[in-house]
Structure 1
Amino acid sequence: MALQQIDVYLPATQDTMGRLGDDVSLVDRHTLSTARGQVLERLLVDSTNTEQVLERLQKQMGHTDDFRIVVSPVGATLPRPETDEEDESDNGTDRISREELYQDMSDSVQMKSVYFALVALSVVVAAGGMLRNNTAVVIGAMVIAPLIGPNIALGLGTTLADRDLILKSLKTNLSGLLSGLVLAFGMGLVLPVDPTLTEISLRTAIGLPDVALAVAAGVAGALAVTRGLSTAIVGVMVAVALVPPLVAVGLLLGSGDWDLAYQAGLLLITNVAGVNLAAVLTFLVMGVRPMSWYKAEQAKKATRWALLLWTLVLAVLATAIWLAA
């Protein structure tokens, strides 16, 4: 059983936060006092119940001006809590809370200098590997590419109807892709580009396996973040779908191979659409929803529009690919 500790800091004028309800399952609960005279309610919960507890706390604390909720993972606790086989069964909702998920994704869309540095490094390494026709070097570039965050965050922002997260994700994603494209274009201007090399020619042809790769990358990325798992390995998969075609577009544009650059561009846009469509669908299946009914209604509309948009994009791209074949 994975446990989390939820600390609720209340003003001294409020003795306790009261009952959370009989339907809320807690492993343990203590009421303490802080050095500042505040009341500290410390809750120990199963991680699968964290979102329910946080929702109940936010509703209960809505009238309180001065409170703070802090969530921390628990490495171990003694004595060990009793477990129930039914509790350990897979009910399809085993994920981190919406608030933890939101915090992780918000951090991943910060446009800091290290983000652009990693984009530039991944483009340079990928371009070097493609020009040398070295698959191992191209794969190495995927390890440092930071593109999983903005793409998965866009799907989360859509699912939660969070306008700020959507805009930040779009801005960060477009900035990373454009900066990488410009750098690859510059390399294509000054370096000899042989479009017959396998690592380049593979990105100028698109088929159903490429679409399947993009969708699988989106699903894997969304599942990784909802389970609180490391996105390092999954990030490689998302980067494989985005960075090589991005670099291929830039190199081919720089070398004047417009038709091949167009083909690589179709692959890139198809992969972006596939990753984001899959991320939205995965968040829906995992039960990620806004807390308030008003936000939930907005989220339904935003999700419908997003699913329609990405589906139409894929349909248009499939038509363009068929016509170009």
Structure 2
Amino acid sequence: MAHRIIQIHVREGAGDLFRKTHKIARVVDSWPVGDDGSCLALLVRTQDVQAVTDRLQDIFPKSHINRIIIQPVEAILPQPKDTGPVELPSEDKDQKAKENGKAKKAPKPFAGVSRDELYADISRGAELSNSFMLLVVFSTIVAGIGLIENNVAVVIGAMVIAPLLGPNLALALSTALGDLDLMGRSIRTMVTGFAIALALSICLGYFWTGPLDSQELLSRTEVGFDSIALALVSGAAAVLSLASGISSVLVGVMVAVALLPPGATMGIMIGSGNMEAAQGAALLLAVNIVCVNLAAKLVFFFKGVGPREWYEKQKAKQAMIFYLFFWLISLVVLGFVILERARVAF
């Protein structure tokens, strides 16, 4: 059973930390950090981190909190016992009922890593850094050579690097949280990454003097409804693995819904002058991008990932609805294009 340590550091005048926090449900253990009484460590199960951190921010105003730090725990001896369901203390529930005019059923807690941990993990993929651009360059070269030489192992190696999956997942999270800054960074990073990959692969296709008829290359110029199903399931698995803290699943997801190989195929075909094959690769790339974003948004929605404050929730809800419709309409359009290409082929 995975656990986390939550350290809360408060400023002078915040009051007695232990007295204010000892009624928080689902805290397995707690102990002071330091001698000045300004820091307290709470041991909680991973799936309860969000409920506890939200409760801490309810108890202490922002002006009193210096910082909240969340740390993973490798092992605990002896193993702690289950502490029961998450709920507010009775006096807090009565107060909430008075404030709202009626008692409301508490939302089901987010069963996974907290939104803050999820944000810290996924938002790294939106950073437009030298490392990201170099990874795009390296993975494009690896993918291009593997595709042309029909080397499956080399292509899989490029898939595992998967630099373009990060900004797509960050884009999905930004709409779930209503974070316009993360949204802008995600789009900028994604566009830059695809531009670098496309430019390199076009050069590769233009200067390559050998045949471009390998099975690995040609298979990425064909797209059907099975490609849509695969991309949807893989995108959902990617977000679910991150939200649940099971990062080992991501390697399989990177291979299943790779964005770079079809992008490299499109560039190679454009560089060689085969525009029909390039259109097929572009369609597969578009299907993967749309399905990954749509599946990610649906998982975030059903997992209840969202901002904490009510005014942020309204903004995030509007963004989520707009982008869900946008990706759904995009998927329908791509479905019609796939049908039309199949009809013309026959």
TM-score, length basis structure 2: 0.86
Matched-pair identity in %: 35
- The answer as to 2:269 corresponding to 1:269 is no
- The answer as to 2:339 corresponding to 1:322 is yes
2-structure distance, mates of 1:132, 1:251: 13
Identify the residue that residue 241 of structure 2 maps to in structure 1.
224
Deviates more, 1:169-178 or 1:78-87: 78-87
Correspondence list, 1:35-184, <5 A: 37=36, 39-65=38-64, 67-83=66-82, 93-184=110-201
Residue 83 of structure 1 aligns to a residue in which SS?
A: coil
1:252, CA displacement in angstroms?
0.3
2-structure distance, mates of 1:63, 1:270: 43
Identify the residue that residue 9 of structure 2 maps to in structure 1.
9
Residue 67 of structure 1 aligns to a residue in which SS?
A: strand
2-structure distance, mates of 1:66, 1:156: 26
Task: Check 1:38–1:108 CA distance in 2 against 1; reply closer, same or farther (3 A cut).
Answer: farther
2-structure distance, mates of 1:38, 1:186: 62
* Unaligned runs of at least 5 residues, structure 2: 87-107
Identify the residue that residue 30 of structure 1 maps to in structure 2.
31
Residue 73 of structure 1 aligns to a residue in which SS?
A: strand
How many residue pairs were aligned?
319
2-structure distance, mates of 1:193, 1:211: 32
Q: Deviations over 1:294-319 (max 9, x none)?
A: 11111111111111101111111122
Deviates more, 1:281-290 or 1:74-83: 74-83
Deviates more, 1:266-275 or 1:107-116: 107-116
TM-score, length basis structure 1: 0.91
Q: 2:310 aligns with which of 270, 273, 293?
A: 293
Amino acid at match of 1:25: R
State whether residues 12 and 38 of structure 1, in contact with CA within 8 Å, keep that contact through their aligned partners in structure 2: no
2-structure distance, mates of 1:112, 1:210: 31
Task: Check 1:245–1:83 CA distance in 2 against 1; reply closer, same or farther (3 A cut).
Answer: same
Q: Deviations over 1:110-151 (max 9, x none)?
A: 111111111111111111111111222111211222222111
Identify the residue that residue 207 of structure 1 maps to in structure 2.
224
Q: Deviations over 1:223-258 (max 9, x none)?
A: 1110123265145236x4311110110000000111
Correspondence list, 1:188-199, <5 A: 188-192=205-209, 194-199=211-216
State whether residues 29 and 44 of structure 1, in contact with CA within 8 Å, keep that contact through their aligned partners in structure 2: yes
* Unaligned runs of at least 5 residues, structure 1: none
Residue 20 of structure 2 aligns to a residue in which SS?
A: coil
2-structure distance, mates of 1:63, 1:122: 43
1-structure distance, mates of 2:163, 2:288: 16
Amino acid at match of 1:208: F
1:275, CA displacement in angstroms?
0.6
2-structure distance, mates of 1:199, 1:321: 20
State whether residues 148 and 235 of structure 1, in contact with CA within 8 Å, keep that contact through their aligned partners in structure 2: no
Deviates more, 1:254-263 or 1:105-114: 105-114
Task: Check 1:237–1:85 CA distance in 2 against 1; reply closer, same or farther (3 A cut).
Answer: farther
2-structure distance, mates of 1:99, 1:170: 21
Residue 42 of structure 1 aligns to a residue in which SS?
A: strand
1:46, CA displacement in angstroms?
1.3
Amino acid at match of 1:190: F
- The answer as to 2:322 corresponding to 1:305 is yes
1-structure distance, mates of 2:141, 2:265: 12
**CA-based RMSD:** 2.2
State whether residues 26 and 44 of structure 1, in contact with CA within 8 Å, keep that contact through their aligned partners in structure 2: yes
Task: Check 1:237–1:175 CA distance in 2 against 1; reply closer, same or farther (3 A cut).
Answer: same
State whether residues 193 and 255 of structure 1, in contact with CA within 8 Å, keep that contact through their aligned partners in structure 2: no
Amino acid at match of 1:64: S
State whether residues 152 and 279 of structure 1, in contact with CA within 8 Å, keep that contact through their aligned partners in structure 2: yes
Task: Check 1:78–1:315 CA distance in 2 against 1; reply closer, same or farther (3 A cut).
Answer: same
Correspondence list, 1:276-287, <5 A: 276-287=293-304
1-structure distance, mates of 2:228, 2:326: 16
1:106, CA displacement in angstroms?
1.7
